Amino acid sequence: MNNRVVITGMGVVSPLGNDIDVFWDNIRNGVCGIDFIKAFDTSDGYDVKLAAEVKDFNPVKYINKREARRLDRFSQFAIYAAMEAIDNSAIDLDKVDKTKLGVIIGTGIGGLSTIEKEARSLYDKGPRRVSPFFIPMSIGNMGAGNVAIYTGAKGVCSTVVTACAAGTHSIGEAYRLIKSGVNEMVLAGGSEASITPLGIAGFQSLKALSESRDPKRASIPFDKERNGFVMGEGAGVLFMESLEHALDRKANIIAEVVGYGATGDAYHMTSPDPTGDGAARAMEEAISEAGVSKSKVGYINAHGTSTPYNDSFETLAIKKVFANISGDLAISSTKSMTGHLLGAAGAIEAIASAKALEDSFIPPTIGYINPDPDCDLDYVPNNGRQADISYAMSNSLGFGGHNASLLMKKWEGRE
């Protein structure tokens, strides 16, 4: 079986809004979602002061207060984004075969805030004061598990944990399941809630985070003065289904997924391969599966973390793949606005890419002032642009050498 796969619904919880229209409007307008950390006091021992926190999040839109207390923040985000995606898709779940509806929600870390809270209980009060909900709240698979419980989805229920590539891998695996006919529909994406004392301290010790005090000069992908990424949080979930299923129910089709590539660097725990080989092969695989000319790809939503190595090595990988036409590509990093959502990054970036196709608009890389000679492509600096693009690619690279690329096509009706 070789089903075509389309996106018919999308939901977000993000530093730029918890509604697709608000999120996309802020992306279009280059709004910076980064600010000083409010989740905890950073005055003692924290050199990192900035993050991209979710604002005005109220889970009770979909989760009652009693249940919300038994869910880690990352699970709350996942449920909320999934329910938004279902609403956005206009599907009536009471009229579908739920054994054909799957869930794949990736995460990088899972329930970190719960782990921190219960570790304090253990050390301060003893083992009998550790919550009986500690394990089911903290384990990474419960983003997917809880989405399945809330939606009644009885198809595949899986979690991808590939660090910062988890969201993209989840969508790619969903694409393959639908393409092969295993499931007709899948809720796919990623969720992360790691702006916690331990999360920031850990990445700070790794020297991975920006220590900037200026929100507009903290996450500055491809800029010569970039000095680390900014932690973000949130979730992105896509409602994906076979084209036939979508047409049968007269769904609004946002974009079509046409290719997926997944490779490993086998190089280093945290650094990408400096030759760009793994990232390049992932892009090549996605383009090959789609069976399209490289010249048809009009936009790349780059991983673009604002770290010195990532941005230069990803630029090199793009040049490997697109060679003499790489200068014609529009490339941007929406992490300049959202920060880096780790396991959820690829999901909200896939959403931004799908909206770019639907809206014929390429998002900007904001905060770009000082060009880097090692990053010499078109990064759509500071202002987005109207462009009628047919294909968009979204890249993700994760600690451990995980690379993933999605290729999406503008929906212009069934050919």
The separation between CA 138 and the C-alpha centre of its own chain, rounded to angstroms, equals 20
User: Quick check: is 245 catalytic?
Assistant: no
Q: DSSP assignment, residue 275?
A: T
Q: Is residue 265 a contact partner of residue 272, using CB atoms and an 8 Å limit?
A: yes
Catalytic pick from 32, 157, 245, 303? 303
Which residue bears the tokens 């950073």? 42
Separation CA 345–CA 166 (nearest Å)? 8
The separation between CA 4 and the C-alpha centre of its own chain, rounded to angstroms, equals 22
User: Quick check: is 340 catalytic?
Assistant: yes
Nearby residues of 122 by Cβ (< 8 Å), 6 or more positions away:
129, 130
Q: Is residue 332 a contact partner of residue 363, using CB atoms and an 8 Å limit?
A: yes
155-157-160-165 Cα dihedral, nearest 10 degrees: 50
Which residue bears the tokens 């941005």? 311
Q: Is residue 339 a contact partner of residue 34, using CB atoms and an 8 Å limit?
A: yes
Q: Is residue 168 a contact partner of residue 346, using CB atoms and an 8 Å limit?
A: yes
User: Quick check: is 32 catalytic?
Assistant: no
Catalytic pick from 164, 169, 245, 375? 164
Q: Which helix (H) or strand (E) holds 282?
A: helix 277-290
Q: Catalytic residues, which ones?
A: 164, 303, 340
